[in-house]
Structure 1
């Protein structure tokens, strides 16, 4: 590895070692690491901080502006500072040690945030630092938007959008974390695919509550609150949302069809005929395929009595619902109530946001992303639109831009993707270094 690349990896490791962990309850957050991270960025990327202006927004989020030759239709590159909590005992390597394991093509950095999302954040800064050092000036303004609480409330990104709105700034292209370069994600497609999110599912939490008088567990009623709640949960599980192929998913299949083996090529290329059958088959091909063709609902939290010999006066369940394009918080809530079919089970929306608008998968902004994929990551890679399965800070930017995309420029295996928000998160060094090239090429075309 060259000295330049080794230095970039060392900077990445240093930033991964700063535990910028966010919590839903912000009273639990240690804010000192966020300040340390901000200070480290200033020290590690001196040219960037000399050439760009930086504002601290909403207490901890960062907004950089790189003045270009024109202020119109700027490029916004997004990432987030925060990472999810860890259970250290589950990790093979300490989650905030950023240990480099292996050599050559197998060299891998193990750390929380290696992919989600400091991998992208640091790669962006490396690309900017290189271009500033080369004396390059962007044709259009460039903004770097780094939220501090993407994993929880997303308030930092919302505050940045409010600030840009106040200043009359309407980005021509916004790129946040999202899909990656993957293989085998679409059945029958042997070529690697750059999955670029043109929309993301909405997210909501519905709270199911059953109330009763309570009492001693030695004399339970015929149908206690916990049993009624369990029946409601079972009904939701046994009656999933209907399947359908939304427009971005149709575009995904149409894009990969020429690269698919038969019979997939014919199936993907004739969705007008095969679409209904395909939608019914995909849920059986894995969790990701299921999430592409339906709104999903799963119970994530349960609460009942305070003791093992006490009847619950209230039994509660949280249902996490991810809304497919075309569904809404209102329509999903109505369906949950119909499926539960029990007036004694209260259904309350704790919070929710509808699916994002769909950005076009044609036109100049899309071509810029696809060109950077080809030049930096490989000309054998097919760039394809899809629906982002998780929520990101980019959803707030749809209020000020019609071209909001979600793509992380790393070639990830199934096991690496599975480690996100889990133990043993990691990224191969070569993969991360190529990601820097993607951002450099995208910036150069802006």
Structure 2
């Protein structure tokens, strides 16, 4: 008989890698993954109804005593590509490294996001085997391309919207249980995303007539493009405290020492100074107080001795609550201040609406955190820095939250989308209990 850890490792070994160009995706691996889920979780597939959406996404319905106000538990099947040579251990072998409390599973997707997906199924499987019937319907929504387009999640939302379903609580991947993220705060905090930043890709293009590199013009296209990128870098978006960040600081203020407690409790006066400090405390803290913009892709001439007729740069912009795709584009245009550099929004979505951090839905999350993960953990609102599939669910629910129920160290968080992704076995097993508590309270 297999254990939860055995099942987790088996699913981690299936490389369900997504690519922006979906013609490069090995869909047979997703079919293998779905077949493994059906085999490993027989009670779930006996009790819950399952349907395939958008070709590869999975939507399960657990019929409860009341169909109204359902719970939606989200995760995604796909993982980002790997550079195997960078990994200390093979990324799709799911090796357990270390002993005791330090034993960790090393694999792509261990945290992002098969950790949540499998933990959800473990909780549901055990309850289904026990004969439990939820008070309200429970849906499991597992998208297949969260790391790229998110089309699977959008399609799932379309299905639910067409059926008139309005969830009372939606929870997806997001913040985790962390230590020491907020300066001066030593208690562990469960960072529950009540909103997430918007995301957009802005393409910059500079053009020229071309020719031989031995006779360049005074301002070649590459130099014009470099100047535009440099201006964006030297003139970052202004700092400010958005509503979710204000709520976070207010919540953790009682757990901060003086004089920091007074600083967090008087943000109307201390806000400008605090944002200036946060901006210098590293990428994470900087990103919660401003919209960020960074050039991620560059292209120029096809040969090293050829002038580029077209020089392009992709700028990834993450929008702080209150900014929009339109306002960020206009600001970039003003900062670049060069009419010969073309700006084009390729992809863009505004920041999500902000879900409340008071009320029944919030209490359910906080109670599950306390009972499953630790009574000493402070549950706090949080602004999620990255985008997730949950943003599409805000059209059918006012209570959409982003939280991964694992106690993660800084190095573990840094490994997301990088090499040596891993999760400690004990930490992952506790996460199962969080989802069980949510379902029991459904």
Does the pair score TM above 0.5?
Answer: yes
| Structure 1 unmatched runs, 5+ | none
Aligned match for 1:157, one of 153, 159, 168:
153
| Structure 2 unmatched runs, 5+ | none
Task: Provide runs of 4+ in structure 1 moved above 4 Å.
Answer: none
Q: CA deviation at 1:391?
A: 0.2
Q: CA deviation at 1:61?
A: 0.2
Tell me which residue corresponds to 1:19.
15
Alignment of 1:124 with 2:135, yes or no, is no
Aligned match for 1:389, one of 371, 381, 385:
385
Q: How far apart in 2 are the matches of 1:406 and 1:355?
A: 14
Q: How far apart in 2 are the matches of 1:438 and 1:171?
A: 19
Tell me which residue corresponds to 1:57.
53
Q: How far apart in 2 are the matches of 1:103 and 1:340?
A: 54
Pairing 1:27-426 to 2, within 5 Å after superposition = 27-426=23-422
1:329-385 deviation per Cα after TM superposition (whole angstroms, max 9, x unaligned):
000000000000000000111110000000000000000000000000000000000
Q: CA deviation at 1:133?
A: 1.4
Which SS does the other structure have where 1:195 is aligned? strand
1:401-432 deviation per Cα after TM superposition (whole angstroms, max 9, x unaligned):
00000000000000000000000000000000
Q: CA deviation at 1:81?
A: 0.2
Q: CA deviation at 1:112?
A: 0.1
Q: How far apart in 1 are the matches of 2:101 and 2:160?
A: 41
Q: How far apart in 1 are the matches of 2:189 and 2:339?
A: 47
1:121-168 deviation per Cα after TM superposition (whole angstroms, max 9, x unaligned):
000000001111111110000000000000000000000000001000
In the superposition, the TM-score normalised over structure 1's length comes to 0.98
Is contact 1:188–1:262 with CA below 8 Å preserved after alignment? no
Q: How far apart in 2 are the matches of 1:425 and 1:438?
A: 22
Q: How far apart in 2 are the matches of 1:344 and 1:352?
A: 23
Q: CA deviation at 1:239?
A: 0.1
Which SS does the other structure have where 1:64 is aligned? strand
Q: CA deviation at 1:266?
A: 1.1
Q: How large is the RMSD of aligned CA atoms in angstroms?
A: 0.7
Which SS does the other structure have where 2:121 is aligned? helix
Q: CA deviation at 1:276?
A: 1.6
Q: CA deviation at 1:270?
A: 1.2
Q: How far apart in 1 are the matches of 2:269 and 2:223?
A: 44
Q: How far apart in 1 are the matches of 2:404 and 2:278?
A: 25
Give the length in aligned residue pairs: 442
Which SS does the other structure have where 1:310 is aligned? coil
Q: How far apart in 1 are the matches of 2:95 and 2:158?
A: 39
Is contact 1:80–1:118 with CA below 8 Å preserved after alignment? yes
Alignment of 1:440 with 2:440, yes or no, is no
> Which deviates more, 63-72 or 277-286?
277-286
Which SS does the other structure have where 1:417 is aligned? helix
Q: CA deviation at 1:262?
A: 1.9
Is contact 1:192–1:381 with CA below 8 Å preserved after alignment? yes
Q: How far apart in 2 are the matches of 1:31 and 1:45?
A: 21
Q: CA deviation at 1:280?
A: 1.7
1:267-321 deviation per Cα after TM superposition (whole angstroms, max 9, x unaligned):
1111121112111221001101100000000000000000000000000000000
Q: How far apart in 2 are the matches of 1:364 and 1:117?
A: 26
Q: How far apart in 1 are the matches of 2:303 and 2:69?
A: 59
